[in-house]
């Protein structure tokens, strides 16, 4: 079923937040956006799995998805979380290639799907669209390289401090003032994002609480000393 113009415009607005997409001619952009189909994904169900053929590009409409790898022993490494408006490109590839990661819905969610064959056809007609997608793929590759470096060279406490510092700065943290970070992610999800287990996360949080950097409760984490949290991140 063809996407209506108003919904296609919503997709366009999401995509043009990414660099390069505003250079795509409007007629090509609208043709691309209207080629989408809406899919509904229940909590914990997959959009695609590692080893499967790539089903296409996705833009998150509602809910949240996680891109992850799961070891044979059941250990999970979350690559990133995708909220509404986020472009998921790991499922876009030629038919003879398999997905390297899996995408699961964190809650009941919806996404716009752009079939790989259709996207490839449009890329052949529009150099700006090809560059926009290439830029996004390069960005994701660079982020994955950063993740590999983080996991191999930084301690759990430094990784956790960096994660909390990012959340604090997004919440408008200021030096010398406490900053409240709501506990929106469970400990297992945080551990999977940081490449460790929940016990290590708990130990690192407790260490930072003993040092007066954080104050912990079930509902929130309060950053008491932003400077000290930043020092842990970069020491």
Full pLDDT tens readout for the chain, 235 residues: 567 889 999 999 999 999 999 999 999 999 999 999 999 999 999 999 999 999 999 999 999 999 999 888 888 899 999 999 999 999 998 888 899 999 999 999 999 999 999 999 999 999 999 999 999 999 999 988 888 888 888 899 999 999 899 899 988 888 889 999 988 888 888 998 898 888 999 999 999 999 999 999 989 999 999 999 999 987 6
74 and 124 share one domain? yes
104 and 23 share one domain? yes
Q: Which residues pair with 80 in a beta bridge?
A: 67
Distance CA 93, CA 113 (A): 13
162 and 135 share one domain? no
40 and 110 share one domain? yes
**In this predicted structure, what is the pLDDT of residue 218?**
87
Domain that holds residue 227: 156-234
165 and 116 share one domain? no
The dihedral built from the CA positions of residue 56, 77, 131 and 41, taken in this order, carries a sign that is positive
Evaluate whether 214 touches 204 at the Cβ level (below 8 Å).
no
148 and 160 share one domain? no
pTM of the predicted model, to two decimals? Answer: 0.78
**In this predicted structure, what is the pLDDT of residue 101?**
94
Residues 6+ apart with CB under 8 A from 147: 79, 195
Distance CA 192, CA 69 (A): 9
**In this predicted structure, what is the pLDDT of residue 235?**
66
Write the CATH number for 147: 2.60.120.10
**In this predicted structure, what is the pLDDT of residue 175?**
85
Evaluate whether 48 touches 55 at the Cβ level (below 8 Å).
yes
By CB neighbour count within 10 A (0-12 exposed, 13-18 middle, 19+ buried), where does 35 fall? buried
First to last CA, the chain: 54
């Amino acid at each position: 079923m063809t996407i209506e113009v108003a919904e296609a415009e919503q997709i366009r607005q999401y995509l043009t937040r990414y660099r390069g997409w505003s250079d795509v001619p409007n007629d090509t952009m609208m043709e691309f956006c209207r080629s989408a189909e809406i899919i509904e994904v229940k909590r914990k169900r997959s959009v695609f799995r590692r080893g499967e053929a790539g089903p296409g590009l996705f833009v998150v409409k509602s809910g949240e998805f996680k891109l992850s790898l799961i070891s044979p022993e059941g250990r999970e490494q979350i690559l990133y979380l995708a909220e509404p408006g986020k472009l998921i490109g790991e499922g876009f590839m030629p038919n003879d290639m398999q997905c390297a990661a899996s995408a699961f819905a964190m809650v009941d969610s919806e996404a716009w799907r752009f079939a790989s064959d259709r996207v490839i056809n449009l890329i052949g007609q529009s150099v700006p669209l090809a560059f926009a997608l290439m830029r996004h793929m390069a960005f994701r590759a660079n982020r994955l390289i950063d993740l590999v470096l983080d996991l191999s060279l930084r301690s759990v406490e430094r990784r956790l401090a960096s994660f909390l510092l990012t959340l604090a700065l997004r919440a408008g943290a200021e030096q010398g003032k406490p900053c409240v970070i709501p506990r929106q992610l469970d400990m297992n999800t945080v551990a999977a994002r940081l490449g460790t287990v929940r016990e290590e996360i708990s130990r690192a949080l407790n260490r930072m609480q003993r040092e007066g950097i954080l104050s912990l409760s079930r509902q929130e984490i309060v950053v008491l000393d932003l400077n000290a949290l930043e020092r842990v991140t970069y020491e």
